[in-house]
Structure 1
Amino acid sequence: MAPSMKIIFGLLTFVTVGMIIGALTQVAFIRKLEDSYDTESSTFRRLSGLESNGYIQLPRGLNIWNNDKEAKILRLGYIKPEVLSWSPRITLLHNFLSMEECDFLRAIALPRLKNSTVVDNKTGKSIKSGVRTSSGMFLSNEQRKNPMVQAIEKRISVYAQVPIENGELIHVLRYQKNQFYKPHFDYFSETYNLKRGGQRIATMLMYLTDDVEGGETIFPMASSGDCSCGGKIYQGLSVKPTKGNAVLFWSMGLNGQSDPNSVHGSCEVLSGEKWSATKWMRQAVHY
């Protein structure tokens, strides 16, 4: 064989061997990453109790984010989002509030409860009406400075993806036996309230008590099926009030227009007391 051919053959052999070694090294590296990922995933599932349905159910008293302050505020590992409807947009957030937060909101609201009002479509002012028979109050700006309230408001902001400053003061409500709120819209149909932060775009409705019969939140336009509402069957979708859970729904559609399908109501309470806390969020900074 000529010297030049030997050199070419040697170079080809060297390049081929190098490519094989490089490929094997890459495969080994990828497998090492996969093994590491599998180990970490297994550890995470073991610690967090990840179920086959993809939801995180932490063992009682265990939260792998216990040393993370922000994670505590956001209740990571406890809140489970469940999409109920895309039109209107409704998400049920299981375990959104702790039991202590629920009890705290009820305690600070109780001394200041007054008969609930509705917004007059002509003037924009609050008036008494037979369509709403509950009692309620707005937290004050001073109460808003409480660390527990601040944590709740930050949580609402993160899950709704709306700045805290765009939110109205939290409104706490109590529904006693036979009380209700007939189906209505949260968005405004007059201009008086639009001057203070624009249109209401979303609502976070948080339930503060259990042991209530009736009192469901009904969305008549959310489903073509039947649902229970105050002991009766209606067309639509209803959410049972469960302490700690929250419902996030949008009064505006993806087109930026008010969504008439977001009409909703509070069904009649048959027994017990239903307590809830509402956070309305606006297009702009609310003042």
Structure 2
Amino acid sequence: MHGWLIRMVGSRGSPGSAGFDPTRVTQLSWQPRAFLYKGFLSDEECDHLVKLARGNLEESTVADNDSGESIKSEDETVSRVESRIAAWTFLPEENGEAIQILRYENGQKYEPHFDYFIDKVNRERGGHRIATVLMYLSHVGKGGETVFPDAEAKESQVKDDDSWSHCTKKGYAVKPEKGDALLFFSLHPDATIPDPSSLHGSCPVIEGEKWSATKWIHVKNFDNLERVANSACIDEDSDCPHWAAVGECRKNPVYMVGTKESPGYCRKSCNEC
């Protein structure tokens, strides 16, 4: 398996450029919280991301942000995808790591793992990874499914041997279909406690080649380590008023309002100061 990182700087998407369509989203599981967005990326966007990464791939390992080649880019397509991810997840762009593009060849897989961090060192920058958006950039003949071994719905999913690989019998599985995106949360709704049911892996590719793009999103700002003074009554994201209006102050209080140890990012819109 080979991976590559794409880092976006500046040139964020303009309002309305996200193109988010909630009617294409299906809830797959509540433990873990997982959702599938059909046609999240167009064929052209998928091909463009693959083209950016092709020829610049290096070996990638779990939780190793230095395994790929990180570049600074103001690519319009990447910017549009970043904006769409933020609109879907209700998590700010600055909370996300660089998009990592992976290529799986015949027999290659990703062993089951967690995206949240066990150690304190990795949580210093941006806190836990709260969510993962996994985008499928190519069709796969067979295999390459994303599997959740401990998902509550694993026993209820019917799989035949012709269209599913044997690996998927170990849990709830999602087929890699070009353009689709899988969103799952690594933390419980309070955004502080890790969800062990988010354990996931990638089944071996049996036929064809698999390209995917992963976006890890943190609880807090991943790029900026500096925070405003605790006493400041401000919103730290331009989307705070919208998020507050749709109930995120109640649904996501750790991020929006904050705790005694860490102030929230939308205190003004949540009327907390």
Does 1:206 pair with 2:161? no
Does 1:175 pair with 2:104? yes
| Superposition map of 1:42-57 within 5 A | none
The one-letter amino acid of 1:198's match is: G
User: CA separation of 1:243/1:172 partners in 2, compared to 1, >3 Å: closer, same or farther?
Assistant: same
User: CA separation of 1:104/1:216 partners in 2, compared to 1, >3 Å: closer, same or farther?
Assistant: same
Q: C-alpha distance in 2, partners of 1:211/1:265?
A: 16
Q: C-alpha distance in 1, partners of 2:135/2:107?
A: 20
Q: C-alpha distance in 1, partners of 2:90/2:168?
A: 34
Q: C-alpha distance in 2, partners of 1:169/1:233?
A: 29
User: CA separation of 1:89/1:108 partners in 2, compared to 1, >3 Å: closer, same or farther?
Assistant: same
Confirm or deny: 8 A CA contact 1:109 1:139 kept in the other structure: no
Correspondence for 1:137 among 68, 72, 78: 68
Confirm or deny: 8 A CA contact 2:103 2:211 kept in the other structure: yes
Q: C-alpha distance in 2, partners of 1:137/1:165?
A: 20
CA RMSD of aligned residues (A): 2.2
Q: C-alpha distance in 1, partners of 2:171/2:79?
A: 34
The one-letter amino acid of 1:137's match is: G
User: CA separation of 1:199/1:99 partners in 2, compared to 1, >3 Å: closer, same or farther?
Assistant: same
Q: C-alpha distance in 2, partners of 1:201/1:158?
A: 16
Correspondence for 2:56 among 94, 109, 112: 112
Q: C-alpha distance in 1, partners of 2:158/2:51?
A: 32
Does 1:274 pair with 2:203? no
CA-CA distance at 1:227 after TM superposition: 6.0
| Superposition map of 1:142-181 within 5 A | 142-143=72-73, 145-181=74-110
Does 1:238 pair with 2:178? no
The structure that is helix-richer by fraction is: 1
- Which structure 1 residue ranges, 5 or more long, are not aligned? 1-68, 120-124, 128-135
| Number of positions where the alignment pairs a residue of Structure 1 with one of Structure 2 | 203
CA-CA distance at 1:241 after TM superposition: 0.2
User: CA separation of 1:77/1:165 partners in 2, compared to 1, >3 Å: closer, same or farther?
Assistant: closer
CA-CA distance at 1:230 after TM superposition: 3.5
CA-CA distance at 1:213 after TM superposition: 1.0
The one-letter amino acid of 2:102's match is: L
| Superposition map of 1:48-67 within 5 A | none
Percent identity, aligned pairs only, is 42
Q: Determine helix, strand or coil for the equivalent of 2:51.
A: helix
Confirm or deny: 8 A CA contact 1:139 1:171 kept in the other structure: no
Q: C-alpha distance in 2, partners of 1:97/1:103?
A: 10
User: CA separation of 1:234/1:103 partners in 2, compared to 1, >3 Å: closer, same or farther?
Assistant: same
- Which structure 2 residue ranges, 5 or more long, are not aligned? 1-13, 224-273
Q: C-alpha distance in 2, partners of 1:279/1:157?
A: 11
Could you report, residue by residue, the CA deviation over 1:141-185 in whole angstroms, capped at 9, with x for unpaired residues? x22x21111100000011001000000000000000000011110
Could you report, residue by residue, the CA deviation over 1:88-133 in whole angstroms, capped at 9, with x for unpaired residues? 10000000001111011111111210111233xxxxx669xxxxxx
Aligned to 2:184: 249
CA-CA distance at 1:193 after TM superposition: 1.5
Aligned to 2:24: 80
CA-CA distance at 1:271 after TM superposition: 1.3
Correspondence for 1:285 among 194, 218, 221: 221
Q: Determine helix, strand or coil for the equivalent of 1:111.
A: coil
Confirm or deny: 8 A CA contact 1:139 1:170 kept in the other structure: no
Confirm or deny: 8 A CA contact 2:58 2:69 kept in the other structure: no
Correspondence for 2:195 among 246, 252, 259: 259
The one-letter amino acid of 1:175's match is: Y
Could you report, residue by residue, the CA deviation over 1:203-239 in whole angstroms, capped at 9, with x for unpaired residues? 0000000143100000111124156663345242100
Higher RCO (CA-CA < 8 Å; seq separation 6+): 2
